[in-house]
Amino acid sequence: MNIKEIARKAGVSVATVSRVLNHPENVAPKTKEHILKVMEESEYIPNWFARGLNFNKTNTIGLLIPNILNPGYMEIAKGVEDVAHQKDYTTLLCNGENELDKERKYIDTLIKRRIDGIVLISSLLEHEDIMNIKKQEIPIVLIGENKYMSADVPLVRIDCQNGAYKAVKHLIENKYKDIAIIYGDTPEQENKRKLIGYKQALEEEKIIENPEYIIEVGNNIEEGYIAAKKLIDLKKPPRAIFASSDLLAIGAIDAMKDYEVKVPEQIAVIGFDNIQMANLIEPKLTTIAKPMHKMGVVGARLLFDIMDSKDNGDQIKPREILLQSKLKIRKSCGHKERIGEIF
């Protein structure tokens, strides 16, 4: 069933049929009605390719994420999708699986399919890959700390420094002074920022940094465990630990359990990320929550802004949008207040 047949059945020209599809205001109401009815009856669906060939637009954006099984990333993805869906765009979700090759292959696919824009979440792509995309004149925005970063690509990210600062401040407000940090996220940039935030908070309170209290590790539960063990074994162990990720914090708490150090009575632990698990372990983990969904929403909006301005031919300069994280008070820092929880 194609436009020609509809035209024939309706006794009009293909142009008129096409018009009711694209500029219905330019068609006489009566003819329009009639054609619409014929379309309905014939269950006509305009050929996607033929339209695309004319418009050169797919109404599709590509979204590359590192891991679709990670609910955190999917929250961002949902944010992107929500915006896209509302604008009648379809989202092509690509699972890079944290492998550069896979990511590259997906980008190729996206370019081949002539998607209208790309959102990259924490991707491993390098300068040349990004340049490839830009060469195709495909609007692009990065969400989260990507491996490649520069001022010429728009970026939405979390203010990790401030997040870390807030975390440590919270510890201090709860009368902890001997505060250690276990840090070591990928990517590097975030690490540094968190460390800076930590130092900033200490400094502000005139607490002198203790190098023994600063431990850099890889980002997983095991290393959190090991690091915490080290801290416990110090001559003068800290009274509180700021872990730069919930995974590390969970590892740390695990170590405390094994060595019978009470959390938070003897040592307080605060994490970062607010992963689901944080609310399930005992004691429930106080942590810094990142606005994942919002990142997606803001990133997608930014992308659409760029796409629009590209359509209008005006130049838009790449922006960096900084989103703030939020302190989520639970039990692991012994604070009196508590957020209401499900069970």
Partner DNA sequence: ATGAAAGCGCTAACAG
Partner DNA sequence: CTGTTAGCGCTTTCAT
List interacting residues with DNA (CB under 7 A). 2-4, 11-19, 21-23, 26-28, 30-32, 44, 46-47, 50-51, 53-55
Nearest distance from residue 141's CB to a second copy, in Å? 20
CA–CA distance, 56 with 160 (Å, rounded to integer): 40
Instruction: Supply 340's token pair.
Output: 């209401």
Q: Does 262 bind a second copy (CB under 8 A)?
A: no
Stretch that binds a second copy, among 139-147, 264-272, 276-284, 316-324 (CB under 8 A): 276-284
3-state secondary structure of 301: helix
Q: Does 31 bind a second copy (CB under 8 A)?
A: no
Nearest to 62 by CA among 295, 291, 307: 307
DSSP structure class, residue 273: B
Which of a second copy, DNA, none sits in contact with 280, Cβ below 5 to 8 A by type? a second copy
Q: Give helix 127-135 / helix 100-112 axis angle, nearest 10°.
A: 0
Which of a second copy, DNA, none sits in contact with 277, Cβ below 5 to 8 A by type? a second copy
Which of DNA, a second copy, none sits in contact with 26, Cβ below 5 to 8 A by type? DNA
Which of DNA, a second copy, none sits in contact with 2, Cβ below 5 to 8 A by type? DNA
CA–CA distance, 222 with 252 (Å, rounded to integer): 8
> In this structure, what is the dihedral angle of CA atoms 187, 69, 274, 214, given to the nearest 10 degrees?
-30
Which of DNA, a second copy, none sits in contact with 187, Cβ below 5 to 8 A by type? none
Q: Does 272 bind a second copy (CB under 8 A)?
A: no
Instruction: Supply 105's token pair.
Output: 């292959």
Nearest distance from residue 277's CB to a second copy, in Å? 6
Q: Does 113 bind a second copy (CB under 8 A)?
A: yes
Q: Does 234 bind a second copy (CB under 8 A)?
A: no
Residue at token pair 């540094």: 192
Nearest distance from residue 36's CB to DNA, in Å? 12
Nearest distance from residue 20's CB to DNA, in Å? 8
User: HSE on the CB side for 9, CA within 13 Å?
Assistant: 18
What is the enclosing helix (H) or strand (E) of 167? helix 160-173
Kindly report the number of other CB atoms within 10 A of residue 321's CB atom: 15
Instruction: Supply 129's token pair.
Output: 């890959």
Could you say which of 30, 112, 235, 336 contacts a second copy (CB under 8 A)?
112
Could you say which of 22, 26, 109, 324 contacts a second copy (CB under 8 A)?
109
Nearest distance from residue 312's CB to DNA, in Å? 16
What is the enclosing helix (H) or strand (E) of 188? helix 188-204
CA–CA distance, 179 with 153 (Å, rounded to integer): 37
Nearest distance from residue 26's CB to DNA, in Å? 5
CA angle 103, 109, 115 (to 5 degrees): 110
**Interface ranges with a second copy (CB under 8 A):** 43, 45-50, 52-53, 56, 58, 68-69, 71, 74-75, 77-78, 81, 90-93, 95, 109, 111-114, 135-136, 221-222, 225, 251, 254, 276-277, 280-282, 342-343
